């Protein structure tokens, strides 16, 4: 558990050091948001490739079997100003997010720490709610009963809405690599967030 928290802290320190020149021009809290939500794994079972010369597959339990429905959690997101977007355009923005999801049920304990680089594009909307859509690249660290700290890469699609200037609702579906006997952590994440 301590090693996992140390990893998340190391990523946050690295991101802050890399962005220090751009942050010197702005308030540190500008662009920061705090959020709470749920991680809902989409599969109770995953097919993994068996190591060795056989080239066969076997079924491994998915995280859905352990968490019953979902793992509650929360995290931080920081809007990166001055970072080039993958796509050109006025509406595109980049952010980095780190979240922690935890579930303890009879089937066991699961911890998932996804750290993502997000690119979203604001969509013109009417009224107070301003929708946005985009994609993310994620490194998810998965641990728990019978699982060592394992980090897997993934990516996903993001849909959200800025309900007010400060409050937002976001949903995403992420596909996470489950090779090597790691349970399938792919699924939905939904957050309600507040921007400072």
Note the pLDDT of residue 33.
95
Which CATH number applies to 2-195?
2.40.160.20
167-178 per-position pLDDT tens digit: 999 999 999 888
Note the pLDDT of residue 47.
47
Note the pLDDT of residue 174.
93
Residue pLDDT tens, the chain, 196 long: 556 566 655 665 565 556 555 545 557 788 899 999 999 888 755 444 444 444 444 455 567 777 778 889 999 999 988 777 677 777 888 999 999 999 887 777 888 999 999 999 988 876 778 899 999 999 999 888 777 788 999 999 999 999 988 999 999 999 988 877 777 888 999 999 999 9
Single pTM value for the model: 0.75
Six-digit token pair at 185? Answer: 């952590």
- Answer for the pair 65, 45: CB distance below 8 angstroms, yes or no: yes
Note the pLDDT of residue 49.
42
Residue 172: closest CA among 185, 184, 156: 156
Phi then psi for 5, rounded to 5 degrees?
A: -65, -35
Cα separation, 155 vs 189, in Å, equals 12
Six-digit token pair at 127? Answer: 């009224």
Cα separation, 165 vs 51, in Å, equals 50
- Identify the helix (H) or strand (E) that includes residue 165: none
Work out the angle at residue 193's Cα, subtended by the Cα atoms of residues 189 and 196, and round it to the nearest 5 degrees.
145
Note the pLDDT of residue 113.
93
Note the pLDDT of residue 38.
92
Residue 73: closest CA among 161, 156, 167, 142: 142
CA dihedral (168, 6, 155, 35) in degrees, to 10, reads -10
Note the pLDDT of residue 51.
44
Note the pLDDT of residue 2.
58
- Answer for the pair 162, 170: CB distance below 8 angstroms, yes or no: no
Note the pLDDT of residue 15.
58
Note the pLDDT of residue 57.
47
- Judged by DSSP in three states, 3 sits in helix
Note the pLDDT of residue 153.
94
Cα separation, 127 vs 111, in Å, equals 38
CA dihedral (13, 14, 19, 24) in degrees, to 10, reads 30
Q: Where are the domains of the chain?
A: 2-195
Region of 152 (left: φ > 0; alpha: ψ -120 to 50; beta: rest) is beta
Residue 167: closest CA among 134, 130, 118: 130
């Amino acid at each position: 558990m301590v090693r996992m928290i140390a990893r998340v802290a190391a990523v946050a320190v690295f991101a802050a050091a890399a962005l220090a020149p751009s942050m010197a021009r702005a308030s540190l809290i500008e662009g920061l948001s705090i959020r709470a939500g749920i991680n809902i794994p989409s599969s109770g079972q995953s097919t993994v490739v068996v190591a060795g010369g056989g080239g066969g597959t076997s079924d491994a339990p998915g995280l859905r079997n352990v968490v019953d429905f979902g793992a509650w959690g929360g995290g931080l997101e920081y809007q990166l100003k001055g970072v080039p977007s993958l796509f050109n355009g006025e509406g595109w923005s980049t952010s980095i997010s780190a979240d922690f999801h935890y579930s303890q049920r009879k089937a066991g304990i699961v911890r998932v720490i996804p750290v993502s680089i997000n690119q979203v594009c604001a969509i013109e909307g009417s009224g107070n709610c301003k929708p946005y859509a985009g994609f993310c690249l994620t490194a998810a660290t998965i641990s728990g009963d019978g699982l060592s700290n394992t980090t897997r890469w993934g990516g996903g699609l993001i849909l959200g809405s800025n309900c007010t200037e400060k409050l937002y609702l976001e949903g995403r579906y992420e596909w996470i690599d489950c090779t090597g006997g790691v349970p399938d952590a792919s699924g939905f994440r939904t957050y309600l967030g507040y921007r400072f």
